[in-house]
Amino acid sequence: MFRRVWQSVMIFMARSDAITRFMQKSRATSFLVSKYVAGNTPEQGVEKAQALLTKERLRSSLFYLGEYVDSAELAQLNIDNKLAVAGVLENGELDLHISVDPSQVGFAVDPAKAREAVFGIAKRIKEAAGDREGVHCLMLDMEDDSYVDLTISLHNELKEQGYPLALTMQAYLKRTADDMQKQIDAGGRVRLVKGAFVGSADIAYTTQSDIKDNYRRLVAMMLSPEAKQRGFYPIIATHDDKIHEFAIEIAKKNGWQQGEYEFEMLLGVRQDVADALAERGERVRLYVPFGQDWWPYAVRRIGENPRNGVLLFRSLFS
């Protein structure tokens, strides 16, 4: 119960314009920027991604910060930065791997224009990647349950038209097993997260133990012989090292080779675990956000674990 209340409070703080303006101007919270964010501009985001690959053999999924926008102007700013980072990546060696939240490109403002924008970003990624090797895609992030059907439908339509696509799914939702099976059947590419949102018991698992159990069941589906045969590409996105070991064991048992699946983690969270996986030869990717509107993202990282709140309150009141 406490965790759900805590997460609800953090989501409220993430979506409050007044709180966001205050926190982003406060020197007390500047440590969150250096910990979780790669800079303000596409160039700074790519520079961080290049450093991670060169020094630590960690790949990146770049994400321009900004979500739940309520104006066409903010949506266009987000779209422009998604396109800009694809341009910066075009002539380098990094994956063209860019994450997009449907809400941030304006689906709550003008769905038709937002849909057009997502198609434009996918086209730009495909053009910029060309025929060079790598894991290139527009990664559709998954938001709260009201966006699930829209996001899956958008993903499927883009994929059918030949664009490089990947889809995020959330283990806290009870429907995810059925959604996952459809993507396995289609030979898709899925990033599995636990999910940072709160759902009611009729649609969601509400305890951490139940969510973890479902996550393991979904990992077993993703790394099954059937999924391998279909050409499915699993992305296990968690910081739980016990689940990492569980996934590696299943992968070996079912004949998966390193590089046929990957692990994903967040910039600034358990970097030692990411480094250790990469050292063992596993493919590891970090979610690398950049941009000036960093508070909603950073406070969600705090919301995922109540213990992280100690860092925030110490900074504000010390």
At residue 301's C-alpha, the angle toward residues 111 and 40, to 5°, is: 70
pLDDT at residue 118 tops 70: yes
Give residues with Cβ within 8 angstroms of 231, minimum separation 6.
187
The string of pLDDT tens digits covering residues 9-67 is 666 666 666 766 666 666 656 666 777 899 889 999 999 999 999 999 999 999 999 77
State the pLDDT at residue 190. 98
From the centroid of its chain, how far is CA 146? 17
| Cβ atoms 219, 192 nearer than 8 A | yes
Strands 284-290 and 137-140: unpaired
Rounded CA-CA distance 263/247 in Å is 9
Record the pTM: 0.88
**DSSP characters over 88-102:** HHTTSSS--EEEE-G
Type of residue found at 311: L
pLDDT at residue 224 tops 60: yes
At residue 238 the predicted structure's pLDDT band, cuts being 50, 70 and 90, is: very high
| Cβ atoms 280, 55 nearer than 8 A | no
Q: In the numeric block, which tokens belong to residue 235? A: 């992305």
Q: In the numeric block, which tokens belong to residue 193? A: 């997260």
| Cβ atoms 173, 145 nearer than 8 A | yes
Q: Coil, strand or helix: which one is 284?
A: strand
The string of pLDDT tens digits covering residues 177-223 is 999 999 999 999 999 999 877 778 899 998 989 999 999 999 999 99
**What sections of 169-239 are H helices per DSSP?**
176-185, 208-222, 225-230
The topology under which CATH files domain 38-293 is: TIM Barrel (3.20.20)
